[in-house]
């Protein structure tokens, strides 16, 4: 299996390298998207089967790379789960991409980095030493940077790609230092050696903090999230789907691999840090999403929320593990993994749907959309399913994993340490608040885009595209429904992976085809299938039943609107007015929201203006000072650019002597 996987990755790399040379463009698109989709589908299915069948952990060492180390690969349950999740989502996105990319102005630009990106993502999962891990991680960053740059003629894309590259470099630097701190001065960088280290190395705490920061920056955890809402929307929509659906999952995998596997038994505070960071990301992410006008930015901020939810569950699992409550730890981890898979599906669906809207109207601004449900009936149905899933409402898949996570939160009174016992319930309340706000954010996004009357000519003239774009959407939406109605599919995968990591299974019968009872029979249960069946039966059956009792008469007329209907679509609620109450309640605290009304004096003919100002604290107080400091430092260092050769040589000599002194001092 491992060898075959590596061969599959080689196929992807070959596709990437040969893509620029294939003519004509149409053939190249078909070949690359078909090839990537096929390989991803094969990898995803193989990984899922291996996970359910309970295969052995397989390892492979190749004499490549660094001469004293070689390269090490390993496929275990955790890696298998992520491999299944990202590849299945990526395969479905590729169906969409086949139709979507062909309609882009320069479709071949994103073609070469795409297979390399997916290969690198998979390679991160297979890595069994720090060298391969970091190499694959960096490959993933560079390839995705090229993907973000696909529309490089737009200022927005260039700016986003630049910020993204800086953050990605920071992330890999922090991870490099984390591995260094973990392995020690003359350490062994094989994961097997790190894993088997009997005593925790002296700098393990530093390593854990660095790993959290490094992986958190890549996943988009608050306050290291500033790049995500820039980079994800700037890319073409199928790439946005991959970035949000696939890449942040790899970052979370890195976090899980480091904290659950490499460092050894957890200290109690690791989990607490993740729980707090996760809850903060969930709340702040979804509040930002509520304030955005750009549909793709709404989706990107919602990704931050979901990353927060997953991180929260990972942290909770660590808390339970530190208290040696292994069955609850396994349950929380299964919830986190299930949410990762569910998010990969519904966020890919939403980004692809945003792509369809963009294709039909060339609009991303919610305030200019409206009424698309009548012009694009199928897209609106699929997006409605995606919105329900992203709002974690039954009977879609998002609800199942959130339900599971809440069940583990409610069991947190079993924790031994006092600080987590106090913090977990408080952060649980924050999580509940963000789940409710997520529903508002998606009512707003869907309602403004698809419902009401068209707010612009473009929206009025939208034409629903057909072909593989819609097939891709349908498959993704079908996946969301299937995993919501039969959560056993997700959870048997997540359970196997959690078993592989924690070493404990969930109680017998916890995960059945019909009923989900994670805490054993008699405890809380959820049956998605029954809820779905009852909803379908009632909703479809009520109408003929009522029609039999009383004959139905229907008529179309003008809207009532309390007797004062206004023909102008501009009297409708807008995206900004919809979120005005929430902006007033939460915005002043989080974004220092200010509304200024400029009302002209009587007799003055200029229009009145309402201006809303929001700040992103992470950008204004976090990134901006650092950017200024870096700029000041580089301006200073600029002076060293034009020295004489004599001065350069003496600088080098000085550096050498200093380093030797450090070595001499530490070797004592």
The least distance separating other proteins from the CB of residue 135, rounded to whole angstroms, comes to: 43
Interface pick for other proteins out of 202, 410, 661, 662 (rule CB under 8 A):
410
Interface pick for other proteins out of 265, 457, 549, 589 (rule CB under 8 A):
549
Euclidean distance between CA atoms 305 and 429, whole angstroms: 15
Tokens of 417: 């340490």
Euclidean distance between CA atoms 260 and 385, whole angstroms: 34
Nearer to other proteins, 159 or 594 (CB): 594
Q: b vs e for 383-421, b when ≥16 Cβ sit within 10 Å of the residue's Cβ?
A: bbbbbbbbbbbbbbbbbbbbbbbbbbbebbeebebeebe
Nearer to other proteins, 193 or 515 (CB): 515
Contact 328, 298 (CB under 8 A): no
Euclidean distance between CA atoms 187 and 181, whole angstroms: 9
Interface pick for other proteins out of 134, 383, 448, 497 (rule CB under 8 A):
448
**Does residue 11 belong to the site contacting other proteins (CB under 8 A)?**
no
Task: Report CA Rg, the chain.
Answer: 26
Euclidean distance between CA atoms 296 and 602, whole angstroms: 40
Nearer to other proteins, 540 or 663 (CB): 540
The least distance separating other proteins from the CB of residue 351, rounded to whole angstroms, comes to: 21
**Does residue 1 belong to the site contacting other proteins (CB under 8 A)?**
no
Question: Could you tell me how many residues of this chain bind other proteins (CB under 8 A)?
Answer: 89
In what helix (H) or strand (E) does residue 179 lie, and over which residues does it extend?
Answer: helix 155-183
Tokens 């004599």 — which residue?
646
**Does residue 293 belong to the site contacting other proteins (CB under 8 A)?**
no
Interface pick for other proteins out of 29, 336, 409, 476 (rule CB under 8 A):
409
What is each CA distance from 410 to 161, 328, 395, 505, in whole angstroms? 41, 11, 22, 20
Contact 281, 308 (CB under 8 A): yes
Euclidean distance between CA atoms 146 and 372, whole angstroms: 32
Q: Is the Cα dihedral 294, 295, 298, 304 positive or negative?
A: negative
**Does residue 553 belong to the site contacting other proteins (CB under 8 A)?**
yes
Interface pick for other proteins out of 546, 610, 651, 655 (rule CB under 8 A):
546
Nearer to other proteins, 73 or 450 (CB): 450
Nearer to other proteins, 21 or 550 (CB): 550
**Does residue 526 belong to the site contacting other proteins (CB under 8 A)?**
yes
Nearer to other proteins, 95 or 336 (CB): 336
**Does residue 325 belong to the site contacting other proteins (CB under 8 A)?**
no
Contact set for other proteins, span 457-516 (CB under 8 A): 515
3-state SS assignment for residue 58: strand
**Does residue 522 belong to the site contacting other proteins (CB under 8 A)?**
yes
Encoded one letter per residue, x for contact with other proteins by CB under 8 A and - for no contact, window 361-380 reads ---------xx-xx--x--x
Tokens 């995993």 — which residue?
483
The least distance separating other proteins from the CB of residue 448, rounded to whole angstroms, comes to: 7
The number of C-alpha atoms within 13 Å of 422 and in the hemisphere containing its C-beta is 4
Interface pick for other proteins out of 571, 588, 640, 658 (rule CB under 8 A):
571
Contact set for other proteins, span 62-91 (CB under 8 A): none
Contact set for other proteins, span 207-266 (CB under 8 A): none
Interface pick for other proteins out of 23, 153, 548, 555 (rule CB under 8 A):
555
Pairing relation of β-strands 71-75 and 609-613? unpaired
**Does residue 652 belong to the site contacting other proteins (CB under 8 A)?**
no
**Does residue 422 belong to the site contacting other proteins (CB under 8 A)?**
yes
3-state SS assignment for residue 573: coil
**Does residue 206 belong to the site contacting other proteins (CB under 8 A)?**
no
Euclidean distance between CA atoms 524 and 538, whole angstroms: 24
Backbone angles phi, psi at 120, to 5 degrees: -65, -40
Single out the segment in contact with other proteins by CB under 8 A; choices: 106-114, 243-251, 353-361, 400-408: 400-408
Contact 130, 179 (CB under 8 A): yes
**CA neighbor of 518 nearest in space, from 504, 532, 530, 501:** 504
Nearer to other proteins, 174 or 400 (CB): 400
Nearer to other proteins, 231 or 283 (CB): 283
Interface pick for other proteins out of 45, 440, 482, 612 (rule CB under 8 A):
440
**Does residue 593 belong to the site contacting other proteins (CB under 8 A)?**
no
The least distance separating other proteins from the CB of residue 543, rounded to whole angstroms, comes to: 6
Tokens of 341: 């898979």
């Amino acid at each position: 299996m491992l060898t075959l996987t590596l061969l599959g990755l080689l196929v992807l790399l070959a596709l990437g390298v040969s893509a620029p040379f294939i003519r004509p463009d149409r053939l190249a698109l078909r070949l690359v998207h078909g090839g990537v989709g096929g390989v991803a589908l094969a990898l995803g299915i193989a990984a899922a089967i291996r996970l359910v069948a309970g295969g052995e952990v397989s390892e492979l060492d190749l004499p490549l790379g660094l001469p004293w180390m070689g390269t090490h690969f390993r496929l275990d349950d955790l890696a298998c789960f992520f491999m299944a999740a990202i590849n299945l989502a990526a395969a479905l996105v590729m169906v969409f991409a086949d139709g979507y990319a062909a309609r882009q102005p320069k479709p071949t630009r994103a073609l070469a980095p795409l297979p390399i990106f997916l290969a690198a993502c998979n390679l991160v999962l297979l890595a069994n030493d720090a060298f391969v891990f970091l190499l694959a991680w960096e490959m993933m960053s560079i390839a995705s940077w090229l993907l973000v740059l696909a529309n490089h003629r737009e200022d927005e894309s260039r700016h986003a790609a630049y910020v993204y590259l800086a953050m990605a470099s920071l992330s890999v630097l922090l991870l490099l230092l984390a591995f260094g701190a973990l392995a020690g001065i003359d350490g062994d960088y094989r994961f097997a050696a790190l894993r088997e280290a009997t005593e925790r190395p002296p700098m393990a705490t530093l390593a854990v903090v660095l790993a959290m920061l490094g992986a958190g920056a890549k996943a988009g955890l608050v306050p290291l999230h500033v790049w995500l809402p820039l980079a994800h929307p700037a890319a073409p929509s199928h790439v946005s789907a991959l970035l949000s659906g696939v890449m942040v999952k790899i970052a979370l995998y890195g976090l899980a691999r480091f904290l659950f596997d490499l460092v050894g038994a957890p200290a109690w505070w690791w989990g607490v840090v993740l729980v707090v960071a996760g809850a903060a990301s969930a709340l702040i992410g979804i509040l930002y999403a509520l304030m955005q006008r750009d549909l793709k930015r709404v989706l990107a901020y919602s990704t931050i929320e979901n990353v927060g939810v997953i991180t929260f569950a990972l942290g909770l699992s660590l808390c339970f593990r530190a208290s040696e409550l292994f069955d609850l730890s396994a349950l929380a981890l299964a919830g986190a993994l299930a949410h990762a898979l569910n998010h990969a599906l519904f966020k890919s669906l939403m980004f692809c749907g945003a792509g369809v809207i963009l294709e039909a109207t060339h609009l991303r601004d919610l305030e200019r959309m409206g009424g698309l449900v009548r012009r694009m009936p199928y897209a609106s149905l699929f997006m409605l399913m995606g919105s329900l899933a992203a709002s974690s409402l039954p009977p879609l898949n998002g609800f199942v994993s959130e339900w599971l996570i809440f069940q583990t939160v409610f069991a947190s009174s079993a924790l031994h340490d006092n600080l987590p016992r106090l913090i977990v319930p408080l952060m649980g309340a924050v999580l509940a608040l963000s789940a409710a706000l997520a529903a508002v954010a998606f009512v707003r996004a869907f309602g403004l885009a698809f419902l009401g009357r068209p707010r612009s000519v473009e929206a009025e003239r939208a034409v629903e595209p057909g072909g593989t774009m819609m097939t891709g959407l349908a498959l993704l939406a079908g996946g969301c429904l299937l995993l919501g109605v039969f959560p056993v599919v997700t959870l048997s995968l997540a359970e196997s992976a959690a078993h592989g990591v924690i070493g404990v299974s969930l109680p017998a019968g916890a995960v059945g085809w019909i009923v989900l009872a994670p805490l054993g029979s008699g405890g809380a249960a959820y049956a998605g299938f029954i809820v779905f069946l009852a909803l379908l039966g009632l909703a479809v059956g009520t109408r003929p039943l009522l029609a039999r009792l009383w004959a139905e008469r229907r008529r179309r007329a003008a809207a009532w609107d309390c007797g004062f209907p206004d023909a102008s679509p501009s009297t409708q609620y807008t995206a900004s007015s919809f979120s005005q109450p929430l902006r007033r309640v939460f915005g002043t605290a989080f974004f220092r929201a200010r509304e200024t009304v400029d009302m002209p004096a009587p007799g003055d003919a200029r229009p009145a203006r309402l201006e809303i100002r929001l700040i992103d604290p992470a950008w204004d107080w976090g990134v901006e000072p650092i950017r200024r400091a870096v700029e000041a430092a580089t301006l200073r260092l600029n002076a060293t650019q034009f020295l004489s050769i004599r001065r350069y040589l003496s600088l080098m000599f000085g550096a050498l002597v200093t380093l030797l002194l450090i070595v001499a001092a530490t070797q004592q």
